[in-house]
Structure 1
Amino acid sequence: MDNVQKSMNLMGLAQRSGNLISGEAIVLNAVRSRQAKIVILASDASENTKKQFLNKCEHYSIPVRVDFDRNEISNAIGKIRTVAAITDGGFARSLQKLQ
């Protein structure tokens, strides 16, 4: 199993355990309140969305992964989403190691 598949499995596990949030407004609030430990942004998101999240995450020193497209994120978490965030430190560290 490659690292992309392992990362997607990890996102699904985080979703089922309640440690993954998704949706632009919710993730943006989590970044501002520093609840988000890592943000997963779709590589095919709009330029405005990319710029907004990359700037916010840089400002709050939150890592971002942009190596999944919208379909991969949606398949992993079971919802159609462009952006998601993991709120648990352990899941976030595991996802960063798979990068």
Structure 2
Amino acid sequence: MLDLDPTTLGLEFGGGAVIGGIIGFAAKKIAKLIAVIIGVQLVVFRYLESQGILIVDWDALSRGLISTSERADASYLESIISTLSVGAGFTAGFLIGFKRG
């Protein structure tokens, strides 16, 4: 038998949404800054490489971008439902904050 309180799930969802919105807004601002920094760094690397000052192993750099898939093992229905309520709220808030940021 599941021992879940709808009020607790609602509070977890709302709290996750607020925190997700704040983090999403900040993440978009930080992502823009990081994109500019990485872009400038790549341009500098290409320039220094074309001048013969620096040798960049582009294959080694691109190997780090390959992601591995992970498998999640879920064993308890209660923990999944509780996690989903916070996660769904966080995701919704994150997406709204990211879009508005």
TM above 0.5, one fold? no
The structure with the greater share of residues assigned to helix is 2
The structure with the greater share of residues assigned to strand is 1
Q: Scaled by the length of structure 1, what TM-score is found?
A: 0.26
- Using CA pairs below 8 Å that are at least 6 residues apart, which structure has the higher relative contact order? 2
Greater C-alpha radius of gyration: 2
Q: Scaled by the length of structure 2, what TM-score is found?
A: 0.26
